[in-house]
A and B are shown apart, each in its own frame.
Chain A
Amino acid sequence: MSSHAATIDHHHDATTSTGIPNKKLLWWAFLASDCMFFGALISTHLVYRLNPPPGNAIPTQVFNIELTSFSTFILLMSSLLMALAVNAIQKGNIRSTRTMLLGTMFFGCIFLGGQVYEFAHFVAVKKMTLSNSIFGSTFYTLTGTHGTHVAIGVLLLGMMYVRTFKPAHGESGLLRNFAHLAAVCTVMAVSFIWLVPSGIEAIYGAPVGELLSHHAVPFGIGAVALAVVFWFARSGGEVEFGEKNAIDVEAIGLYWHFVDIVWIIIFTAVYLLEYL
């Protein structure tokens, strides 16, 4: 392809029939599908909320609205940073993009931490578990699914972040590739091995301190591996990533914002309305 277009029009892609880039179309279609996904989950929650069986948990006695409002605010701010990341890459400003990506991830993690704390607190202090009331079942499943979406978002952003360092000309040794891959795999394995069982433990009632001590080893390995990934990723020199990748960042952005709007609905429908 020899068309050396000087600029990239981010709202029109001449290679497609509609002018919408394929990836953008893909993500919007996926989000339409995800609406149904959360629609079904929220329906389940509300159906049981409006017709509770005897002996159901009482939400207002469980909730901690201050914490949730704070999380909501944090997620909104992460959305802002995400929008700014897209804005930056559309200008070809990679440094700023990286900062914004990191910021988004950071806020996402705060949100997740808030949720882990919330779950652990509800279980340990408020005695509401996944299985001891139907409210517990629907609440944890709905907000947990949302949390999973956030976690996947963080993972995608992390991958994107690493990708921004990919050297331009593909020169890198085999060993380096293997080391990089091994580190990435370790991070993933550890986050699974750490997250899944500790999530289950949390749901069944273990307080945060205990969780950390139980899973100290995998957590430690994960932290080290994470550092390794970043170290490998941070190669100097020319990188391949650039303004042309704006669509990739934007795609993840769409996903991230969607997760945010789902939370907007959950915040109102699941939390706020309970206080009336």
Chain B
Amino acid sequence: MAEAIAKHAFTGAGHPPAKATFELMARPTAKTGLISWLTTVDHKKIGMLYGGFAILFFLIGGLEALMIRTQLMVPNNRFIGAQLYNELFTMHGTTMIFLAVMPLNAAFFNLLIPIQVGARDVAFPRLNAFSLWVWVVGAFLLNVGWLSHIVPSWQFGGAPDVGWFGYAPLTSKVFTPDLSTDLWVLGLQILGLSSIVASLNFIVTIINMRAPGLTMMRLPVFCWMALVTSFLLILALPAIAIALVEVMFDRNFGTNFFEVSGGGQPILWQHLFWVFGHPEVYILILPPMGYVSEILPTFARKPLFGYPIIVFSGVAIGFIGFGVWSHHMFTTGMGVVATAAFSIATMAIAVPTGVKIFNWIGTLWGGQIMTRVPMMFALGFIWMFMLGGFSGIMHSAAPADAQQQDSYFVIAHFHYVLIGGATFALLAAIHYWFPKFFGRMVPEFWGKVSFWLIFVGFNCTFFPMHFLGLNGMPRRTWTYDSNMGWNEGNFFATMGAYLLGLGIFTYFAVLVWSFFKGQKCGNDPWDGRTLEWSIPSPPPEHNFAAIPNVHARDAWWYEKTHQDEIAAEKAAHIKAEESHGGIHMPDQSWYPLFAAAGLGLAAFNFAQLHHPVMMMGNQVLSSHLPLALTGGVIMVAALYLWSLEGPGGYHIHLDANGNATESRGDHH
């Protein structure tokens, strides 16, 4: 047993750390400062980087939303023009989904999965860093087009403007000749790569790195949802990757996949996109369901009601989610049989989702509910997500959807599930785990103020949109006429959005304040139930002084009630591990960053192969091919060096007081 535990702590699957033969870059060892962040392989640091970027983009996406709402405040408004508006909603949707909610989830995957499964890091720490930096490259490519609004002589053609699902043939060269669409295609492609790599890593981590005793049926629900989500990602993203390749070829090499004059079928893009797109919405909501399933038991002080059923329904949602994509295409003339089949399949998803709602209520039932801020957001989630789910069911009735599709009713539906659902749960999670990772509490009072502002503002913004949609207001319209009966609804929604913006602002302002000034907290400020609450806040680099032995579903709750038994076990583990050389930790590395940078250089120039970019009246980077190839070579070289360098590693030794000392090179 002790052997297994000691080995378990190993990351990098049994590679004996050896002196690097081809040591081109000395392995960085900095623990603080810029270099430590750039070269880190620590899942917590990577998680925080993901989180920081995601929150930044969430605010940018929100700002874009506020501009959209301002334009729609009054009819025939000329605050912004059609073109800019189209860029705004495209980038708002793309940003919120790919650059805010997905990476925020990735942040929590990184922060929590290794700790909740009782491991010291993810299975492939350098690969994890690679996913992060590749994600940054994708985010850059998507947004770089904005620069041409600031410096008009940079002719990227503005930000992407084809809508977040970029229906062909609008994406073909004939209709959107500018670079923005190429950057959109490549940006999404690269974000997809990042997500697939990250998901593979999480799958292996969850399945293979569990602490002794942590069976799958004891796994925290959050980890289960992360596992299902990771599977959805690796299985759904290839569909859009292929679709994007096809668009890219159409644009650059004259293929005919979606080229109407060559016999292409633009509807194929829709199928491939939604084969990805529908699982994608569950990719956005399953991790939030995980957070809520962690938060509710803590604040109701009861275990999750119906754990196996919640887990199973999560798996079921993921699986059925692959068979309903065409409900986004009810109006494309698929024929009655296909429409009927997808309609019914879509309704079926209500069952496993409902099961989760019922079990959450079951968790509350008979508990001692403490309405702390995270709990308020979690409860808000249940209410709002339920409403959003109901409008989803209304969409699933295909003939009724013929009136709702592409109207504000859809906008209302998906903001209820995406904000009322995903975002509320994320805000709950941020508030809940903030003390764990920063060691400080967020003040309750201001948290509650922000909750109420957000809650009220959100409903004021999006509830009227149901009615706007039923009253015939189409989405993606930069202006509307004053005689359509939409004036009041839009005005009200815009006011709501400002209120919502104020709420979001308050929320994050309070976080920033708490980061510096918040009250310090101990291991377990909420009386939590899972393993992360058993370690110090913020967690040390090696997470656990001793790898825990898991005896029950809520591992830490069990530990708290069986302290003697656990203390003995832990002492034994520590001894065993020290006798094996101490706690093994993976080394930092430059290569993930370099590989990603090479990829960025390659992609950025590849996008421009057919578009010379003008800067200050001159054609700069006149030949992009060499630069693109250089980028490719840098990437492959970095990957090669990465594989030669090996995982490396060093050891941490703990003294009786838990103080750590490090030793390098003592690999025996």
Contacts and interface: CB of A to CB of B under 8 A. Distances in A.
A54 B22 contact: no
B636 interface: yes
B3 A3 contact: yes
B249 A141 contact: yes
Nearest to A197: B625
B13 A247 contact: yes
B255 A137 contact: yes
A33 B265 CA distance: 25
B457 to A, nearest CB: 40
A90 to B, nearest CB: 15
Given A131-B256, A184-B637, A192 B246 contact: no
A133 to B, nearest CB: 7
A213 interface: no
B275 A26 contact: no
A178 B207 CA distance: 40
Nearest to A27: B200
Given A32-B234, A40-B275, A1 B629 contact: no
A166 interface: yes
A173 to B, nearest CB: 11
B22 A29 contact: no
A13 B637 contact: no
A240 B22 CA distance: 13
A14 B6 CA distance: 11
A134 B263 CA distance: 7
Interface in B262-276: 262-265, 268, 272, 275
Contacts of A69: none
B21 A188 contact: no
B550 to A, nearest CB: 11
Interface stretch (B41-49, B390-398, B639-647): B639-647
A181 interface: yes
B7 A137 contact: no
A34 B238 contact: yes
A30 B24 contact: no
Interface string A78-108: 0000000000000000000000000000000
A203 B237 CA distance: 28
B632 A14 contact: no
Contacts of B268: 44, 47
A49 to B, nearest CB: 12
B57 interface: no
Nearest to B212: A17
Interface string B220-241: 0000000000000011111101
A167 interface: yes
Interface string B41-65: 0000000000000000000000000
B277 to A, nearest CB: 13
A44 B242 contact: yes
A56 interface: yes
Contact of B637 (A14, A188, A200): A188
Contact of B238 (A40, A140, A159, A247): A40
A236 interface: no
B351 interface: no
A244 B238 contact: no
A52 interface: yes
B204 A1 contact: no
B203 A180 contact: no
A163 interface: yes
Contact of B263 (A54, A163, A193): A54
Contacts of B238: 33-34, 36-37, 39-40
Contact of B633 (A22, A167, A180, A188): A188
Contact of B4 (A14, A155, A169, A203): A14
Interface string B614-637: 000000000001000110110011
Contacts of A17: 207-210, 214
A32 B123 contact: no
A244 B15 CA distance: 8
A228 to B, nearest CB: 15
Interface residues of B, number: 66
Contact of B235 (A32, A47, A130, A203): A32
A29 B239 contact: no
B23 A177 contact: yes
B13 A13 contact: yes
A230 to B, nearest CB: 15
B257 interface: yes
A172 B580 contact: no
B10 interface: yes
A15 B245 contact: no
Q: Which of A15, A56, A166, A178 has the most CB of B within 10 A?
A: A15
Contacts of B246: 44, 141
B641 A181 contact: yes
B81 interface: no
Given A29-B203, A141-B246, A13 B257 contact: no
Contacts of B175: none
Contacts of A180: 22
Nearest to A15: B7
A23 interface: yes
A133 B256 contact: yes
A32 B263 CA distance: 32
Interface string A179-217: 011001100110011001100100100000000000000
B362 interface: no
B354 interface: no
B262 A40 contact: no
A140 B254 CA distance: 12
A177 B272 CA distance: 46
Interface in A131-181: 131, 133-134, 136-138, 140-141, 145, 155, 159, 163, 166-167, 169-170, 172, 177-178, 180-181
A15 B4 contact: yes
A26 B200 contact: yes
B516 interface: no
B149 interface: no
A33 B235 contact: yes
Nearest to A247: B13
Contacts of A167: 21
Nearest to A33: B234
A22 B640 contact: no
B14 interface: yes
A40 to B, nearest CB: 4
B257 A44 contact: yes
B240 to A, nearest CB: 9
B189 to A, nearest CB: 12
B572 interface: no
A52 B263 contact: yes
Interface string A1-24: 111000000000111111011110
A131 B16 contact: no
B241 A26 contact: no
B8 interface: yes
B124 interface: yes
B203 A37 contact: no
Nearest to B3: A3
B644 A185 contact: no
B22 A177 contact: yes
Nearest to B267: A47
A259 to B, nearest CB: 15
Given A44-B246, A170-B21, A13 B234 contact: no
Contacts of A237: none
Contacts of B629: 189, 192-193, 196
Nearest to B15: A244
B445 interface: no
B204 A37 contact: no
B447 to A, nearest CB: 37
24 contacts: A1-B16, A1-B580, A13-B13, A14-B4, A15-B14, A33-B234, A33-B237, A37-B238, A52-B263, A53-B262, A130-B255, A131-B255, A131-B256, A133-B256, A134-B262, A134-B263, A136-B255, A137-B249, A137-B256, A155-B636, A163-B643, A181-B24, A192-B633, A244-B16
What 7 A-B pairs have minimum CB-CB distances, sorted nearest first?
A: A53-B263, A131-B254, A170-B19, A137-B255, A37-B238, A15-B7, A40-B242
